Structure 1
């Protein structure tokens, strides 16, 4: 993944984050603002990854993450020390080697823990009657009522934007709420917050992705809409090479029927690929890049020698887990 590509994506993310709530609204914000969208992160097979430039490799498994702490919070020495302790946990059979299978199991554990902790935190905030479930009324009142109903805080444009976001969240809530009673169990609330984790929510993810990208409202995504979501040119700025690469990706790999547009099924194929598992590919990638003697397994020294890649990977929750106490792993 080139540095230019990374910069373009970070610019996209910064635009999303620019739409912020007032300072006192610090928890349980509308889902569209709370997290980056699924489709922003490209398939692992799309790019040659340059881990010397871009350590935040393949963020797809952490869609919905609020704000990760990174290894920048620690000195290199602190990062290596904490990573070494984590390696002992990853080495599940205690044979002093870490295999791709052990890394895969660890990555899935880390991801599952993040989802569980996020849901637990949000439920503690929104479940006002402490009955172990979240009703749409509870969610709406906490997240939207003071944005839409209070005249003092937002102008008409703001109110309309939040009304649209509320309608979208309500639609997703109803989809997640299988029995239709508008009261989400913990599992249903998890499906609402992290729809990419549930098969029955994947169509909703596709629908939301199209809505986000389809600026002219024709129900499909053309190449310019596809590019505009990740790159906005400055005045008189030549188009970076990575943008041209993305255009070619659209033509060669996204637009399956070659009609110049992405429909619902093509968007689904893009963001829900069936050919591979992202976590599995990242585990194999970490081994491949760090395995100096090419024996298909890693020693602790091999991992620590490539520490900067690991602290920017799913294996350490992008560095956040290095800030945990050792007994919290």
Structure 2
């Protein structure tokens, strides 16, 4: 039952947030690779940034000829305006797209569950009936925590309407992606902030006080003294989070906390690849320039072998 699955997700989210460091609430932009970005030690970072982590592993098994052949085809896909050049905007979009593959895979996994009429769109009624249908007929009367499930339905509807940018009651794949992963979209940030406040705001006044802030991540045992990290979080609340010093976190302060402005890693990587590859310094790169530096963009058995030899030499 999808409703039970949804309830499990809410429970898991609550468990995930109940950890010492409340960093779990903060939506960081993930780095493009787990490897250090140091071209002097190899191009693993660039490979994973350009291809995505899983696809980079595939290229590692190819011969140099196969790798270059596949790279040439990728370049044609990146060149969306077909002018023979890859500019910063095209490369930036490509890298962002590759890094969002896990999100797209998650959407694809659930798409058929909700698109009941196979029109490649998901109406609110389709989502609602698939997720809550049986219980809606009973007005949630058979559910022990009726209020919680009604709240979940209200939250889902509000988020769906925010994701539905043309307000037609039907979500395209992009709109449904925004519904499932609102933290990835600028126009959904208000929803992310509102949901966070609702999660933490126990007295329903629309803002977060210190006790609510601490209570979201720490429940003391009888007679237990507060750990050091809780004292640190109290200082963070008063000295950093509560910027206007009124004793509460309002929507703007919550947004600043959970959605911090961060470096666009994809933007930096696009600039880096163009800088290293653009031989005539016209701030755009051709397929010829890319293939001349193919091992920076993609790996192969040969490049891995060379890196392995370097590592062994360093170890000796």
1:29 match: secondary structure:
helix
Distance 1:173 1:238 in 2: 43
Distance 1:180 1:210 in 2: 25
Question: Are positions 1:118 and 2:95 aligned together?
Answer: no
The equivalent of 1:198 in structure 2 is 185
Aligned partners of 2:3 and 2:131 also within 8 Å: no
Aligned partners of 1:91 and 1:97 also within 8 Å: no
Q: Aligned pair in 2 of structure 1 residues 27, 225: CA closer, same or farther (>3 Å)?
A: closer
How far did 1:92 drift? Answer: 11
The equivalent of 1:162 in structure 2 is 149
- Of structures 1 and 2, the larger Rg is shown by 2
Question: Are positions 1:130 and 2:114 aligned together?
Answer: no
The structure in which a higher percent of residues are helix is 2
Aligned partners of 1:40 and 1:230 also within 8 Å: yes
Question: Are positions 1:36 and 2:13 aligned together?
Answer: yes
How far did 1:150 drift? Answer: 3.8
Runs of 5+ unmatched residues, structure 1: 1-23, 48-55, 63-85, 282-298, 304-329
Q: TM-score, normalised by structure 1?
A: 0.57
Runs of 5+ unmatched residues, structure 2: 54-95, 269-306, 312-316
Correspondences of 1:1-329 after superposition (within 5 Å): 24-25=1-2, 29=6, 33=10, 36=13, 40=17, 60=28, 97-98=42-43, 106=52, 111-150=99-138, 154-155=142-143, 157-277=144-264
How far did 1:203 drift? Answer: 0.8
| C-alpha distance after superposition, 1:162-207 (max 9, x if no partner) | 1111011001101110111110000000011011111111111111
Distance 2:310 2:231 in 1: 36
How far did 1:28 drift? Answer: 6.2
Q: Aligned pair in 2 of structure 1 residues 194, 275: CA closer, same or farther (>3 Å)?
A: closer
Distance 1:201 1:159 in 2: 27
Q: Aligned pair in 2 of structure 1 residues 34, 191: CA closer, same or farther (>3 Å)?
A: farther
1:36 match: secondary structure:
helix
